[in-house]
Amino acid sequence: MAKTSKVKKKVVKPKGKSTSKTKIKKVTKIVVAKAKDVSRSPVKISKNYIPKDTEKYMCEKHKIFFRMKLQEWRKELIKANNQALYNGSLDDNSISADIVDQASSYTDKNVEMKAINRQIKLISEIDKALARIRENIYGYCLDTAEPIGLKRLIARPVAKYTIAAQEKHEKDEKVHADD
């Protein structure tokens, strides 16, 4: 949900000498404030904070919690990918004389690369979820605009659909895959 802009009225007095007899014209100027209120202090949460249903859905605490969770997850995935790529480059049995060892090495590398590709796609989904947090649409279904729910988001922070909408998407994918 996008935040609405606040509108402030500012009274501007004309420059020059003013006497009690002189009528001062008051000019009203409308100033549109930015979506973020600068005077507000940043919200802080503890490391063991867990969002509660009693709090307003997708309040600042919720957004900070999910942003931290997604960023930490992203960092772990990148570290694991880098480590797997580094270790994979060290274990090179493809130059082995035995054909069975070469085939086994090829299969292992193929499985590792598929896992790395899945993690790269997941990192992309995490980036999209972080973008939705910045746009203030995180936690709401992209199809129905209904709240996804805290339990689902805690279990799968990159979720972009409600359970019903996700099932519909999966059913549609299955139908189109059969064509």
Number of continuous H segments (helices) and E segments (strands) in the chain: 4, 2
| Ordered per-residue pLDDT tens for the chain, 179 residues | 444 444 444 444 444 444 444 333 333 232 333 334 444 567 888 888 999 999 999 999 999 999 999 999 999 999 999 988 887 766 665 566 788 888 888 888 899 899 999 999 999 999 999 999 999 999 999 999 999 999 999 999 999 999 999 999 999 888 877 65
Asked whether the beta carbons of 87 and 77 are under 8 A apart, the reply is no
> In which region does residue 149 sit, left (phi positive, over 0), alpha (psi from -120 to 50) or beta (all else)?
left
Q: Is residue 99 classed exposed, middle or buried when 0-12, 13-18 and 19+ CB atoms within 10 A define those classes?
A: exposed
* Degrees, nearest 5: CA angle 86-88-89: 70
CATH number (1.10.645.10, 3.40.50.300, 3.30.70.260, 1.20.120.910) of 42-178 reads 1.20.120.910
For residue 84, what pLDDT is reported?
Answer: 85
- Can you name the residues that pair with 30 across neighbouring β-strands? 9
Q: Residue type at 58?
A: M
Give the residue carrying structure tokens 């060290």: 90
pTM of the model: 0.69
**Rounded Cα distance, 28 and 137, in Å:** 34
